[in-house]
């Protein structure tokens, strides 16, 4: 019996795609585009989100986003990191190892932006905490939807009561945006910045173009490996509402 080599195992793994950006950039709208574009290519991704994606992660999300209580920046980071640890170990890694593609609405880059930048903890502390708890998984592709903070917040005005983080100052979001962009500059192969100020249809075309580059690179002429049978679409997230279900 032959054992799969590391290279073969890597080929069989699913791909991990993340979507990032500040408030109002249109993550929810573009998540739908990513999922339907992958489905058009016969790939049935597991869709999930952070903070959340597991039962405990969804409970911790309520702690982080619930207004009416205070917590230090480091506490906030540790709660989010704990949710992420559970998410990676019980949902994302097992799915990828089984050949399933995973699309996550936010991941580690959000901590670099909001806690590292916004809360001014710095990238070093965010990364070393994740290193310490063993969260080292990197996405294969991250799409960063970017636009001015003011314009993004303007789009959110029609929304209901802001959560604890949404109540932060303009300066907080400016720091978060700068941290996102610095991360994209440091990792141009993994992260692609998409101008989210254009009309939705144009943003969706840019998202699909970047996905096509990835699909070409990862699949070439091969069919996707580990594709779940058509008609068995499973999701951790009801595109905006997570069921906290693990695979
Ligand atoms: N957080 C953190 O601090 N640290 C972490 O590590 C992680 C998260 C993982 C929850 O995130 C919070 O958690 C978030 C960061 C923190 N807090 N804040 N503030 P979330 O992702 O669940 O929540 P959200 O940031 O509010 O995202 P969202 O619900 O996906 O909103 P959105 O990205 O703005 O997407 P949208 O609903 O698709 O778009 C908003 C509106 O704009 C909507 O009316 C659209 O129709 C409209 N729209 C979208 N695109 C366009 C274009 N192109 N033109 C015109 N109008 C548009």
Task: Read off the pLDDT of residues 175-212 as tens digits, 9 standing for 90 and up.
Answer: 999 999 999 999 999 999 999 999 999 999 999 999 99
Residue 190 φ/ψ, nearest 5 degrees: -85, -40
Q: What is the CA radius of gyration of the chain?
A: 18
Judge if the beta carbon of residue 199 lies within 6 A of ligand 1: yes
Distance CA 135, CA 77 (A): 13
Assess whether the C-beta atom of 27 lies below 6 angstroms from ligand 1: yes
Query: In this structure, what are the phi and psi dihedrals at residue 102, rounded to the nearest 5 degrees?
Result: -125, 130
Residues of the chain with pLDDT under 50: 1, 225-234, 238-247
Distance from residue 7's CA to the centre of ligand 1 (Å): 37
The domain 14-219 is placed in CATH, from the list 3.90.1150.10, 1.25.40.10, 3.40.50.300, 3.40.50.1580, at 3.40.50.300
The C-alpha atoms of residue 51 and residue 83 are separated, in whole angstroms, by 6
Q: What does the domain layout of the chain look like in residue ranges? A: 14-219
d(CA 119, CA 26): 23
pLDDT at 225: 44
HSE, side-chain direction, 13 A CA sphere, residue 69: 9
d(CA 61, CA 52): 6
- Say what the pTM is: 0.90
pLDDT at 238: 47
* Per-residue pLDDT, 222: 60
Ligand 1 pocket residue status of 118, Cβ below 6 Å: no
| pLDDT value at residue 220 | 76
Token reading at 176: 């978060």
Tens of pLDDT, residues 132-159: 999 999 999 999 999 999 999 998 877 7
Nearest partner of 184 among 140, 211, 147, 144, judged by Cα = 144
* Mutational test site, ligand 1, from 26, 135, 156, max ligand atoms within 8 Å of CB: 26
Question: Which atom belonging to ligand 1 lies closest to the Cα atom of 159?
Answer: 44
């Amino acid at each position: 019996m032959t054992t799969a080599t590391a290279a073969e195992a890597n080929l069989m793994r699913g791909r991990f795609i993340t979507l990032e950006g500040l408030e109002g950039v249109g993550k929810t709208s573009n998540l739908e585009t990513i999922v339907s574009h992958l489905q058009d290519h016969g790939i049935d991704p597991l869709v999930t989100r952070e903070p959340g994606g597991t039962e405990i992660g969804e409970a911790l999300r309520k702690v982080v986003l619930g207004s009416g209580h205070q917590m230090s920046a480091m506490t906030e980071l540790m709660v989010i990191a704990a949710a992420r640890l559970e998410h990676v170990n019980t949902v994302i890694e097992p799915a990828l190892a089984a050949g399933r593609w995973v699309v996550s609405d936010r991941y580690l880059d959000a901590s670099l932006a909001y806690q590292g930048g916004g809360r001014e903890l710095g990238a070093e502390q965010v990364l070393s905490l994740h290193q310490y708890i063993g969260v080292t998984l990197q996405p294969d592709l991250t799409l960063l939807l970017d636009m001015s903070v003011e314009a993004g917040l303007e789009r959110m005005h029609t929304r209901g009561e802001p959560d604890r983080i949404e109540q932060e100052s303009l300066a907080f979001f400016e720091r978060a945006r700068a941290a996102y962009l610095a991360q994209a500059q440091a990792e141009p192969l993994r992260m692609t910045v998409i101008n989210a100020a254009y009309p939705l249809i144009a943003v969706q075309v840019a998202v699909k173009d970047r996905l096509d580059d990835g699909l070409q690179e990862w699949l070439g002429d091969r069919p996707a490996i580990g594709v779940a049978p058509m008609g068995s679409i499973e999701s951790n997230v009801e595109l905006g509402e997570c069921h906290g279900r693990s695979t």
